[in-house]
Structure 1
Amino acid sequence: MSLILIAEDEEAMLDIFGQILEDLGHRVLRAPNGEEALMLARTERPDLVVSDHMMPRRTGMELLRALRADERLRDVPFLLLSAATPEGRGEADLFLAKPVDLNTFENAVLRMLREHASPEATPPSKAREKHAESTLDASLREEMLNWVAHEIKTPLSSARLNAQMLLRRQAEATDDERRYTEAILLQIDRMNSLVSSILDAARLSEGKMVLRPETGDLAAFLRGVVREWGELQPQVTFSLKGAGERVELSFDAERVRHILNNLLSNAVKYGGESRRVEVGVTPHPGLVVIEVRDWGQGISAAEVHHIFERFHRASGSEGAGHGLGLYIASALARLHGGSLSAQSTLGEGSTFSLRLPRATRA
């Protein structure tokens, strides 16, 4: 049994996190703000700190830095949670965005406790040291976006965790009861997706989104993405072409994954009866082209020129989506110095092409 300190100013979230951790067999200390959390940590050294970021009387980042400055507490692992994207979050041992999935949260806690207990625990990364040097100089606009994220996503996170706990305990429930709970989870996830998309669109339009590119093997990355989608949608046949050899590229994996997830989601959604999606990668001297193709309903020639506009929804979408997915995907491609385009024929399917620049060797 480990001692875990939770810092969270939302009472509902504090209660549900405490219940989850106690169900795992741990002893829990609860603090409604960062200052009280620091006092509790100094009174009784915890084995793990789980903290929200946007709290009164000391934010999560301020709590983390106070713990790191204390010789007795500097090695305590720190799990930071936030609906916002706080500067310096890489200083924490792990960052999870709200709403937090129940299994993801439990696995993160167990893994951090296990790694901390091991004599061969992973040392602080260079990335964390680099983030430690960053400054909290966010503009008023960014602060407002973070405030909106916190105020909307925090209750969504609480609702999602409670619904997941309810579903877990419905072993003897009727099919209708489980279906109602699953419907609640689905709608919560749709609301969260909408909020995330609105925030991303706002940050992109204001030039606030910053890429964190790293050089890696794009082919291996694509194999992982396609494999995940195959597991997520087993009724659809996903194929990958051109990824047999290493394709070295500098890219922000999180943002490129966001682009591909949008394209693959649309390919599944509008793929018609073929239930087939093909992903291809073609390296060129100056760029790499990733294509996502389906054989579904397609897009009319008049409409294809508008699909990357904000709030545009394709005809026949029957109200699905919020009209921001392709706008954000296109903006992220441009942020990489690349582009996103589409070719489509009604009744024959669509092909989306993501072009990413490739540094040429001198």
Structure 2
Amino acid sequence: MSLVLIAEDEEALLEIFAEVVEGLGHRAVRAHNGEEALTLARTEPPDLVVSDHMMPRRTGMELLRALREEPHLSTVPFVLLSAARPVGREEADTFLAKPVDLSSFEQAVTAALRSRTPSEPRPPGHGAMRESRPASGAAREELINWVAHELKTPLSSARLNAQVLLRKVAQRGAEAECRSAEAVLRQLDRMNQLITSILDAGRLSEGKVELRTAYCDIVPFLTEVVSEWRELEPHVEFLLTGTRDPVLVSFDAERVRQVLNNLLSNAVKYCGERKRVELGLGLSPGLAVIHVRDWGAGIPASELPNIFDRFQRADDNPDRGHGLGLFIASQLARLHGGSLSVRSSRGEGSTFLLRLPLRH
């Protein structure tokens, strides 16, 4: 049995995290703020620390760095949780974005405990990526992080509890209750997507989104994206077309995946009876051109000039989105030094084109 120290200032979330950890067969020690967590770690060194970031009296990142500075605690695995994206989060052994998925949380705890081996103490600030910001910019970023924390923390608690409930009723074979729990989860996921989109739109407008780019072949990445969508939407035919030769592009995989997921999600929603979506890769001078095509109803010509504006949708159905996805996708394309455009005709479907600069 391993000792897991959990630091979380929201009581409901602290209890569900502890319940899950204890359900895995480990002992959970609870801390309500960063300072209390540090004291408990010094009193009884844990095998793993799971910590929220935005806490009183010491943030999760401050707790992590304090532990790394103490020789007998410097090698303790650290799982950082946050609704925001704190600077330096890569210093943690694992980072999980709130709301946390139950299975992902269990896997992270199990993997971190398995990796627990004695090693040389880490130097203070190991892996840190420091940033300097103007005071006003830092204040805005702090406000965005606070909003993310205040909205996503109760959402994370509700989602984890719903997942635990679903697991319990499924074990009893209660189909009606399972359907109810699944419906709750779907609505919580919609809330999470909306909150994430609002926060992303705000960060993009303020110029606060940072890219973590790498030069690499984008072809395997696109193959992986299509494979994921084939599993997610088995009733839709996903085609992968274009060059299979290596195409080196400087891109942030997480953010380009976000763009493509938005385009593919829209294509699935609007693909009509043909149930076919195409993801293709081509080349033009200095650019990799990725297209997402559907053969649905198409977009009215009157809507095309404003399709990438905030809160714009191709129709008035609120169930089809909140009108921020294409704005965010377009802004992320620009952040990469590329662009996002669309061609569409009524009755013939739509083709979105993402252009990314090639490596020189």
In the alignment, is the contact (CA less than 8 A) between 2:64 and 2:78 conserved in 1? Answer: yes
- Corresponding position of 1:343: 343
Any idea what SS the aligned residue of 2:115 has?
A: helix
Deviations 1:326-351, CA, capped at 9 Å, x for gaps: 00000000011100000111121110
- Corresponding position of 1:159: 158
Percent of paired sites with the same residue: 64
How far apart in 1 are the matches of 2:116 and 2:237? 41
- The within-5 A match list for 1:82-161 is 82-117=82-117, 129-134=126-131, 139-161=138-160
Q: Does 1:197 align with 2:197?
A: yes
- The within-5 A match list for 1:210-221 is 210-221=210-221
How far apart in 1 are the matches of 2:5 and 2:278? 47
CA gap of 1:87–1:349, structure 2 versus 1, over 3 A, is same
CA gap of 1:258–1:282, structure 2 versus 1, over 3 A, is same
Shift in Å at residue 246 of structure 1?
1.3
How far apart in 2 are the matches of 1:30 and 1:337? 46
In the alignment, is the contact (CA less than 8 A) between 1:88 and 1:134 conserved in 2? Answer: no
Shift in Å at residue 301 of structure 1?
1.2
Shift in Å at residue 92 of structure 1?
0.8
- The within-5 A match list for 1:277-356 is 277-315=277-315, 317-356=317-356
- 1:163 is aligned with what amino acid? A
Shift in Å at residue 318 of structure 1?
4.9
How far apart in 1 are the matches of 2:316 and 2:298? 10
Single out whichever of 128-137 and 247-256 deviates more from structure 2: 128-137
In the alignment, is the contact (CA less than 8 A) between 1:268 and 1:277 conserved in 2? Answer: yes
Any idea what SS the aligned residue of 1:244 has?
A: coil
Instruction: List gaps (5 residues or longer) in structure 1.
Output: none
- 2:160 is aligned with what amino acid? L
- 1:140 is aligned with what amino acid? A
Deviations 1:205-255, CA, capped at 9 Å, x for gaps: 111111111111100110011101111111111111125221111101111
In the alignment, is the contact (CA less than 8 A) between 2:235 and 2:275 conserved in 1? Answer: yes
In the alignment, is the contact (CA less than 8 A) between 1:222 and 1:243 conserved in 2? Answer: no
Shift in Å at residue 278 of structure 1?
0.6
In the alignment, is the contact (CA less than 8 A) between 2:87 and 2:129 conserved in 1? Answer: no
- Corresponding position of 1:67: 67
How far apart in 1 are the matches of 2:258 and 2:317? 21
How far apart in 2 are the matches of 1:130 and 1:340? 34
Shift in Å at residue 130 of structure 1?
4.5
- The within-5 A match list for 1:204-243 is 204-243=204-243
CA gap of 1:243–1:183, structure 2 versus 1, over 3 A, is farther
Shift in Å at residue 173 of structure 1?
4.6
Any idea what SS the aligned residue of 1:116 has?
A: coil
How many aligned positions are there? 355
Deviations 1:146-186, CA, capped at 9 Å, x for gaps: 00000010000000000000000012253321111111101
How far apart in 2 are the matches of 1:179 and 1:101? 18
Single out whichever of 153-162 and 135-144 deviates more from structure 2: 135-144
Shift in Å at residue 38 of structure 1?
0.4
How far apart in 2 are the matches of 1:132 and 1:251? 19
How far apart in 2 are the matches of 1:151 and 1:36? 21
In the alignment, is the contact (CA less than 8 A) between 2:272 and 2:297 conserved in 1? Answer: yes
- Corresponding position of 2:249: 249
How far apart in 2 are the matches of 1:112 and 1:270? 42
Shift in Å at residue 290 of structure 1?
0.1
Shift in Å at residue 84 of structure 1?
1.1
In the alignment, is the contact (CA less than 8 A) between 1:220 and 1:243 conserved in 2? Answer: no
In the alignment, is the contact (CA less than 8 A) between 1:10 and 1:32 conserved in 2? Answer: yes
Shift in Å at residue 131 of structure 1?
2.9
How far apart in 2 are the matches of 1:14 and 1:275? 43
Shift in Å at residue 129 of structure 1?
4.4
In the alignment, is the contact (CA less than 8 A) between 2:87 and 2:130 conserved in 1? Answer: no
In the alignment, is the contact (CA less than 8 A) between 2:215 and 2:359 conserved in 1? Answer: no
CA gap of 1:64–1:246, structure 2 versus 1, over 3 A, is same
How far apart in 2 are the matches of 1:130 and 1:102? 28
- Corresponding position of 1:178: 178
Shift in Å at residue 39 of structure 1?
0.7
